[in-house]
Amino acid sequence: MVNLTAFLDPTTGCKVFPSSGGCDEEISLFLYKGQVNMETINALQGKETGLRDHGELIEVHVVPYDKLWRITADAKVLCAIALYEMTKRDGLLPQTISREVSK
């Protein structure tokens, strides 16, 4: 697992602020690479999740990575794509990404 926000300039605090000035929320974005079989992908497609008693209804849509940026309006996803593509372009990502979560 790689913390993509760790590659940001230190003056940013190496965090992303979804609404600077609007709230004090901050997020870090991580990259994890793994393989998933088609059976698992098919089981996830259309799955409903979320905390219903909090008014959440989340439906999972599995899409190819190369189409993701065009079909989402989620700023966190778009930011994660940008950080991934820029760190990859600049050769900052390790050749192999550990499957262990660093603490």
- Name the pTM for this structure: 0.81
Report, in angstroms and rounded to the nearest whole number, the Rg of the chain calculated over CA atoms.
16
Read off the DSSP letter of residue 101.
Answer: P
Q: Is 76 helix (H, G, I), strand (E, B) or coil?
A: helix
SS3 46: coil
- At residue 89, the pLDDT reads 97
Residue 102: the pLDDT is 47
Contact 3, 97 (CB under 8 A): no
Residue 37's pLDDT is: 95
The pLDDT of residue 99 is 59
The confidence score (pLDDT) of residue 21 equals: 84
Give the separation between CA 88 and CA 99, rounded to whole angstroms.
Answer: 18
Mean pLDDT (10-residue bins), the chain, 103 residues: 96 90 91 93 94 93 96 95 97 78 47
pLDDT at 64: 95
Query: How far is the C-alpha of 53 from the C-alpha of 12, rounded, in Å?
Result: 36
